[in-house]
Amino acid sequence: MVAPALVFFFVFAIIPLGIALYLSFTKWDAISDPVWVGLANWPKVLSDPVTINALVLSLKVIVISWVVQTPISLLLGVFTAGRQRYRAVLAAIFFLPLILSSAAIGIAFKAILEPNFGLAASFGLPFLKQDWLGNQELILYVVIFIIAWQFVPFHTLLYQGGVRQIPVSLYEAAEIDGAGRLRQFWSITLPQLRYTIVTSSTLMVVGSLTYFDVIFVLTAGVPSSGIRILPIDMYVTGFSANQMGEASVMAMILVVMGLLLALAMTRLTGFSKMASQQEGL
Amino acid sequence: MTLHSRSSDARTSAHSRSRLRTTAVAAGVAAMLVGAAACSSGSGGSTSGGATLWGLTGTDQDNVLAPSLAAWNKANPNDLVKATYFANDAYKTKIRTAVGAGSSPTIIYSWAGGTLNSYVKAKKVVDLTSATSGVKDKFLPSVWGQGIVDGKTYAVPMNAVTPIMFYYNKDVLKKAGVEVPKTWDDILAAVPKLKKAGVAAFSLAGASKWPELMWEEYLVDRVAGPQAFNDVMAGKAGSWSNPGIIKANTMIRQLVDAGGFIDGFASVTADSNADVALLYTGKAAMMLQGAWVYGTFQQQAASFVKSGLGYTTFPAVAAGQGDPADIVGNPSGYFSVSSAASKEQQTAAIAYLTKGVFDTGYTDRILKSGQVPPIKNLDTKISAAGSDFGVTVYQLTKAAPNFQMSWDQALPPAQATALLSNLDQLFNKQITPQQFSDNMNKTIGQ
């Protein structure tokens, strides 16, 4: 049963990874044959201010995205796991962005944020008339907002599932002991959600690291320096500038960073030990 | 690229192996880096049947290629040409991978320039010099010349001439009491007047980056003449530090600082035609854009085209070395023939390129759509087509002492990408003209 999955993984993950590693030691314009240049690409890419800028931007996206998305998804998840009457309707609305494709989201936000014909002009709201996608300080936060808008529903779903797994008996016991709702949240819900938080955070961090599609659509494929995060920088280097060797170096950096982050998160949080949170129940 | 210096024997024996490896590598990288990029399999790789061709959707397909090929295939059953059509951006990525992997269509479409050079260097396209010797004289020499690399013809024009035009909104200028600028000083004087009237002087699709390049190309030409960019193309060390280029960039910054471009221009995109809309809705008075947007004006604002749209050439710069009659833009689209195709396919392709492309029907269809074919002696035909715009474009093209191909097409891709990114930072005031030149000097030779 495991063979097809292994073959798939080998063909679509391991082999391309090996090829990218090989290409990172070559100079290749995608037309002629690759030329072996040894380690030359690595110092060149790692000392390039554009790459360093891309790394810093990527880290910013990771950290800020996590800080923004985690509390919102957690609270929404707890809320939608409840039994209130109006919950189902609100939950359905929260989940809408989840069913939209990234390309559609990119195109929609591009139109909405257009300074002369977009939202600001349509509703006559001057404070909305900002240079959202052109201001190099602003665009990063615009993108982080869109990412949050797109992915909070997914993480909310994770937390909703997590909360529903918590045994009701814990809350009943707490209520008998006189714990209020806030106390129950801090002492029962949050600790019980520990592994959900790790799962959600890992997906968020690795997802932010490799985030690409909405930015690509939003910037019409020609990203400004303010939003040229690592995956975008890799694409532009590889497929616009046709410097496949340099782009492969960036691909390897992305792979290593992704692996390290995922490993670190599971290690540091004790996720890999898979200790039970419900001992004694 | 230095691989091609090894002995020809070694190359022959290594050829099939390296081609297999290149194919695998191309497929692997595409799959890894863009996931779905390799979704549609190349239909161009087959070596039986007629020649194959990949064209662009839109005007190219509707007005030019589809009707031409229908007529051609009916009349020449022995030299069939089968076409597949792609969107512009998708095509650009796909064709490079296909050419590199040796599975390109027989007829390769390109914008000549740096891309064609890399095809020639890698021996991916065939020499068409003798095959096209009979037809080359009917083309405008400045346009035909772009298909020549190292003295040999590798590509033939297949499309309309589209120089960059200086468009303006007659009503907006009139209301603000501003004449159509004839010099750079006129432009600077017009900006505060137009601002007072509540409109922006210039519409600019800064988010797309390449419309910013049009300003750079014209100003460098007007200030320093064609030689400044020719030096860059020749790869001369430090050629971006030419005082003319630094002066042109200082002028750009001057116009940005004066608020010459519409507020938030860095968020305006060209692919949604927002820049065009700014002009015909009267939010901006003038715009520098390609001749191809004339069709967009016609589609979206037909009545504006009749009464309100004006167009001319880029203003002169006082004491500049460039001829004010020089133009920049896209001379044409070009067709080359793949060296990986079978003999039979190459024969069919060459027959179509020499007899089918720009036959009478082909030329007439382009004229009828309001565009200008790069063909000599069309004055009467263009006048008869009744498009004043067409006449203007044709006159400008014929009279131009120098027709500079858009820099991002002319330069090798690595330099073109760096150019757009640095220019964007110049317009956004993140770097100075001096830093621009320093950054670009580092890309020479890449």
At CA A213, angle to CA A211 and CA A218, rounded to 5?
Answer: 115
CA-to-CA dists, residue B219 to A150, B32, B245, B314, angstroms: 43, 41, 8, 9
CB contact under 8 A, B418 and A19: no
Residues of A whose CB is below 8 A from B33: 20, 234-235, 238-239, 247, 251
Handedness of CA B358, B362, B368, B369 (dihedral sign): negative
Question: pLDDT > 90: what percent of chain A?
Answer: 65
Joined together, the tokens standing for residue B212 give 């910013």
Which pLDDT belongs to residue A281?
67
Residues of B whose CB is below 8 A from A35: 1-3
Phi/psi of residue A25, nearest 5 degrees: -105, 15
CB contact under 8 A, A35 and B2: yes
Answer whether B346's CB lies under 8 Å from B166's CB: no
Determine the average pLDDT of the residues in A110-116. 88
Residues of B whose CB is below 8 A from A251: 32-33
The string of pLDDT tens digits covering residues B180-213 is 999 999 999 999 999 999 999 999 999 999 999 9
Positions in chain B whose pLDDT score sits under 50 = 1-47
Alpha helices in A166-243 (DSSP H): 168-176, 181-184, 190-192, 194-209, 213-218, 230-235
Of A136, A238, A240, Cβ closest to residue B430? A136
Q: Which residues contact A62 (CB under 8 A, 6 or more apart)?
A: A204, A205, A208, A209, A261
> Which residue, B417, B402, B415, is CA-closest to B218?
B402
CA atoms within 13 A on the CB side of A31: 28
Joined together, the tokens standing for residue A83 give 């039994």
CA dist., res. A120 & res. B129, Å (int): 56
The string of pLDDT tens digits covering residues A173-222 is 999 999 998 999 999 999 999 989 999 999 999 999 999 999 999 988 78
Joined together, the tokens standing for residue B246 give 């630094």
What DSSP designation does B330 have? E
> Which residue, A56, A69, A62, is CA-closest to A265?
A62
Coil vs helix vs strand at B57: coil
Which own/partner contact pairs does A167-172 have at CB distance under 8 Å and 24+ positions apart? A167/A278, A167/A281, A169/A281, A170/A281
Beta strands in chain A (DSSP E): 26-27, 35-36
Secondary element (H or E) of residue B285: strand B284-290
Count H helices and E strands in chain A, helices first. Answer: 15, 2
Residues of B whose CB is below 8 A from A239: 33-34, 93, 96
Pair type for strands B51-56 and B81-86? parallel
Joined together, the tokens standing for residue B96 give 């490079």
Instruction: Give the minimum alpha-carbon distance from B133 to chain A in angstroms, rounded to a whole number.
Output: 28
CA dist., res. B232 & res. B158, Å (int): 28
Answer whether B24's CB lies under 8 Å from B102's CB: no
The string of pLDDT tens digits covering residues A58-87 is 999 999 999 999 999 999 999 888 877 788
Instruction: Give the minimum alpha-carbon distance from B118 to chain A in angstroms, rounded to a whole number.
Output: 8
Q: Give one DSSP letter per residue of B84-149, joined into a string.
A: EEE-HHHHHHHHHHHHHTT---SEEEE--HHHHHHHHHTT-B---TTTTTTTGGGB-HHHHGGGEE
Question: pLDDT > 70: what percent of chain A?
Answer: 98
Answer whether A15's CB lies under 8 Å from B28's CB: yes
Residue that has been written with the tokens 């798939």 in this structure: A8
Residue that has been written with the tokens 């430090």 in this structure: B238
The string of pLDDT tens digits covering residues A137-176 is 899 999 999 999 999 999 999 999 999 999 999 999 999 9
Rg (CA), chain A: 23
Q: Provide the CATH number for the domain formed by A48-268 in this structure.
A: 1.10.3720.10
Secondary element (H or E) of residue B81: strand B81-86
Q: State chain A's mean pLDDT as an integer.
A: 90
CB contact under 8 A, A19 and B93: no
CB contact under 8 A, B209 and A222: yes
Joined together, the tokens standing for residue A221 give 């494929």
* Chain B residue with the nearest C-alpha to that of A19: B25
Q: Helix-strand-coil percent breakdown of chain A, rounded to 5?
A: 75, 0, 25
Which pLDDT belongs to residue A278?
72
What DSSP designation does B41 have? P
> Which residue, A100, A93, A116, A105, is CA-closest to A145?
A105
Provide the whole-model pTM: 0.86
Of A113, A135, A235, Cβ closest to residue B33? A235
CA-to-CA dists, residue B425 to A130, A211, B429, angstroms: 18, 23, 6
Answer whether B283's CB lies under 8 Å from B204's CB: no
CA dist., res. B228 & res. A70, Å (int): 54
* Chain B residue with the nearest C-alpha to that of A248: B29
Of B28, B121, B283, Cβ closest to residue A15? B28
Answer whether A254's CB lies under 8 Å from A210's CB: yes
> Which residue, A62, A244, A66, is CA-closest to B101?
A244
Answer whether A160's CB lies under 8 Å from A249's CB: no
Residues of B whose CB is below 8 A from A9: none
Which pLDDT belongs to residue B6?
33
Which residues make beta-bridge pairs with B84?
B54
Beta strands in B111-246 (DSSP E): 148-149, 152-153, 156-157, 162-169, 200-203
Rg (CA), chain B: 23
Residue that has been written with the tokens 């997802």 in this structure: A207
CB contact under 8 A, B89 and A132: no
CA-to-CA dists, residue B245 to B139, B217, B249, B436, angstroms: 32, 9, 6, 10
